[in-house]
Amino acid sequence: MPVTVQGKLADALSKNADTNIAMQVWKALAEKHPNHISLKMRVSQAIKDSKKTEDTVTVLKNLTDKHPNSVPLRNELKLALNSCGKPDRAIEVWKELVDQHRDVLCLQVQLQWACDAHDDKDKAIEIWKALVSKHPSAQSFQDRLRTAFKAKGDLQVGAAEWKLLKDKYPIIGDFDMRSGCTIV
């Protein structure tokens, strides 16, 4: 069977493992070349692959929720989320799992990595602030919120926001308190 440009592109996209990018590429090509049936078939396959990936994420998330200390499940969920190409979805999934299993530090690490990959420091602050507000006695959430404020770089704003949290939840430590042993 002769090697085609579409075949080479399909191979390259499958190696990328990001179903969202594959879908975008095939859709763009199909829009530019509406008479090519093979491109429409590629779009259809990319949509099916994307749906399979989302279904996989749902199943793995539910299993990880039931078995939060399972390293293989967490790794598979991380791979599935990465293949979706949707950083907001990854943050949403890990945040929900962290919220439900606040003592599982490895889930917090996954959420931290998802936030870092998103590269939106304000969003990271918002996420950890919400978790501290919901679980003010969770020291590791406080540590991660401190780290998020420091990563943003404006310590005065961070200290002011921390004071508002402290006024609302007196149980939390001080902003300049040394963080405990935080993994990543």
* Section 5-21 average pLDDT: 66
Rg of the chain, C-alpha, whole Å: 21
pTM of the model: 0.72
Q: What is the mean pLDDT of residues 172-176?
A: 84
- Taking residues 78-107, what's their average pLDDT? 91
DSSP 32-58: H-TT-HHHHHHHHHHHHHHHHHHHHHH
Residue 83 has what pLDDT? 78
Average pLDDT over residues 101-126: 93
Q: Which range has the top average pLDDT, 26-30, 39-43, 60-64?
A: 60-64
Distance CA 181, CA 10 (A): 45
Q: How confident is the model at residue 34, as a pLDDT?
A: 75
Q: What is the mean pLDDT of the chain?
A: 83
* Residues 130/99, Cβ–Cβ less than 8 Å: no
Place of tokens 């998330």: 61
Could you give the 3-state DSSP secondary structure of residue 134? helix
